[in-house]
Chains A and B, each alone.
Chain A
Amino acid sequence: MIRLAAALLGGAVALVTAQLVGTAIMQAMGIPVPGAVAGLILMLVALAMAGGVPEGLGKLSDLLLRHLNLFFVPAGVGLMAHLGLLARDGGPLMIAIVVSTLAGLVVAGVVFMWAKRRTQSAS
């Protein structure tokens, strides 16, 4: 029990450290990529060097990703508080959001299947 708690805590420290280091590097280099995305890459490199995922980090990551939606709820609440913003060009905006989201989904899905079939038939 205590061992698991310590392992989870270690995982939390690893995640936060990767994000902080990622943020520092991006700021120092003036690249407009969020520190968390840079931290993701750093963590991937670290896992590759370690050759495996420590138990605590694995368990904590699975937990965070299973409840990824929870972290967006305040943004969803914030959206409704700022509904007035969406009223700006409301009609065109909503149509454009729906059309472009469908276009992005369909094009990404279709191109992936097409390219996958091509690479498979080529090999």
Chain B
Amino acid sequence: MSALVWLGITIAAYLGALAVARRVNGHPLANPVLVASIPVILAMLATDTPHEVYQEGGVWLLALLGPATVALAVPLFRNWPKVRAAAGPLFLAIGAGSIAAVSTALITAWALGAETQTLLSLAPKSVTTPIAMGIAQTTNGLPLLAAAIVIVTGVIGAIIGPWLLNRMGITDAKAHGVALGTAAHGIGTARAFQEDEETGTFSGVAMGVNGIATALLLPWLLIWLFG
């Protein structure tokens, strides 16, 4: 019963967030994940609802992330000629962006004195939640901390990404997609689909390729660095 209520509240909050986003012409600051979370949290605080109870409803939406990820195959198939034509630059950009994100994250946090376990949980920050949690688990990081870092990364990337790239004179839809998918996984990809299908498709490809490569390679790097 309460699971259904929280599911309903979450969907209502999301629809409200969409209305807010439309009001401000899709301004990136009105990120739907961020905006929709706030009334839900307030409702939880007002009714003294523990997080576990909320998630009995929330898991239904989280479960849809799987089929939604598979659904990325559809725009990818439709835009396959464009993706194929840009395959070389695409892979180079994903590799370089991924390495840049992991190395600057580790170096910055290490230089500022973060603990090893924090570093291990921070390293997989650019990839989608289940991959990041899996990596944190195999390398003795903290999966829940890794998940929290992934969400913060996605929201920051989705908010700042398009603005930053435009300021640097990069307005190409494909470039926006690759950058968002590589640096900000699914939340960046959601932002990219708000721009248009081409941006979204390139973001989806970048997210998938970066996720697979990171899952296969990053644990080895971390074991070598910290093992």
Interface residues of chain A, those whose CB is within 8 Å of chain B, are 12, 15-16, 18-19, 22, 31-37, 39-41, 43-44, 47-48, 53, 57-58, 60-62, 64-82, 85-86, 88-89, 91-116, 119
Contacts and interface: CB of A to CB of B under 8 A. Distances in A.
B182 A108 contact: yes
A48 B78 CA distance: 10
Given A15-B67, A37-B211, A37-B212, A107 B100 contact: yes
A92 B114 contact: yes
Given A64-B67, A112-B89, A81 B51 contact: yes
A109 to B, nearest CB: 4
Interface string B112-134: 11110010001001101111001
Contacts of A106: 100, 164-165, 168, 179
Nearest to A107: B100
Contact of A72 (B77, B104, B183, B187): B187
A61 B201 CA distance: 12
B161 A86 contact: no
Which 4 pairs show the lowest CB-CB distances between chains A and B?
A108-B97, A74-B58, A104-B101, A104-B183
Contacts of B222: none
A107 B80 CA distance: 24
Q: Which of A97, A99, A112 has the most C-beta atoms of chain B within 10 angstroms of its own C-beta?
A: A112
B61 A32 contact: no
Given A41-B73, A82-B148, A96-B104, 13 more contacts: A19-B69, A35-B66, A36-B70, A37-B69, A57-B74, A61-B74, A61-B75, A65-B75, A69-B14, A69-B36, A79-B152, A112-B89, A115-B89
A104 to B, nearest CB: 3
Contacts of A72: 33, 65, 151, 154, 186-187, 190
